[in-house]
A = this chain, B = another copy of it.
Amino acid sequence: MTDTAYHDLIGQDLHGVRRVIRSGAYRAHTAGLGRGFLQVNLAILPESHALDFMRYCQRNPKPCPLTGVSDTGNPMMFTMGRDIDIRTDVPAYNIYRNGKLSESVTDITDIWTDDLVVFALGCSFTFEDALQRAGIPMWHIDNNRTVPMYRSNIDTVPAGPFKGKMVVSMRAIPKDRVAEVTDISRRFPLAHGAPVHAGDPTEIGITDIAHPDWGDPAPVPDGHVPVFWACGVTPQVAIEAAKLPLCITHRPGHMLITDIAEDAEVPVLAPA
């Protein structure tokens, strides 16, 4: 069966989705799957860097909204789902060694060691859903592109070896709806919260909006304002720059789907 057929078939059956991903049969992106449930970015690091990375997330909650942290060496992400094995339950992973991408895989069982700590971070899917429900078109979604992302001149607050500029994503919003968009996205602090900037891109160090550093270019039509949100690529860049011996992330777009409702007050399951 093709990934597209699977996508339609498993659609909204949350545990079915994770079962098929765990089996290795589904390896594609997770946009639109398990709608209503929080999807998260992953960063898996050796415990020796975990405290500094956790401080980095606490100090930069807009680009790095921390939603879950595993026990050291325990691959079960028990605070975010009743049966999430982080070694198998993500469609695709990127393995970085000494700051360089070394391979992409669909299972990390062989790489897992008992000194690893898993960090889960909220992602933009959550607020994009909310904006679409409010009737704000998302051009990159409607046109099947990746949102444009830029390295801004905004400093993050450093922690240990983790530091660098904030990466931002851009969505063009009708002028008269920027305030509403700000209010809506502010309600999702675990999905980057309110925009960090609206208007002239040069004010945050972006000189050429037509050439994003990541993702695809997107138009800013007349009557629209470019609006910039803190982006989950920020911690990935900080991790790469820190040149850790080993770091495992999800492959972009290939998220972990959790059991946490998108509108939950806190992203934590009560003890079973």
List residues of A whose CB falls within 8 A of some B CB: 47, 50-51, 54-55, 58-62, 66, 68-69, 71-72, 79, 117, 155, 157-160, 186, 189, 193-194, 265-266, 268, 270-271
Contacts and interface: CB of A to CB of B under 8 A. Distances in A.
A179 to B, nearest CB: 15
Given A157-B268, A189-B265, 4 more contacts: A51-B54, A58-B69, A59-B69, A157-B270
A186 B266 CA distance: 11
Contacts of A60: 268
Contacts of A193: 265-266
A265 B195 CA distance: 11
Given A50-B51, A69-B55, A155-B271, A186 B265 contact: yes
A157 B68 CA distance: 12
Copies of this chain: 2
A135 to B, nearest CB: 24
A158 B61 CA distance: 23
A155 B117 CA distance: 24
A155 B54 CA distance: 24
Q: Which of A54, A61, A158 has the most CB of B within 10 A?
A: A54
Nearest to A156: B271
A155 to B, nearest CB: 5
A259 to B, nearest CB: 14
A58 to B, nearest CB: 5
A79 B51 contact: no
Contacts of A50: 51
Nearest to A65: B266
Contacts of A54: 51, 54-55, 58, 69
16 contacts: A51-B51, A51-B54, A51-B117, A54-B55, A54-B69, A55-B71, A58-B69, A59-B268, A62-B265, A155-B270, A157-B268, A158-B271, A189-B189, A189-B265, A189-B266, A193-B266
A271 B66 CA distance: 20
- Which 10 A-B pairs give the minimum distances between C-beta atoms? A51-B51, A155-B271, A61-B266, A55-B69, A54-B54, A58-B69, A59-B79, A59-B268, A50-B51, A157-B271
Nearest to A67: B58
Contact of A79 (B47, B69, B157, B268): B157
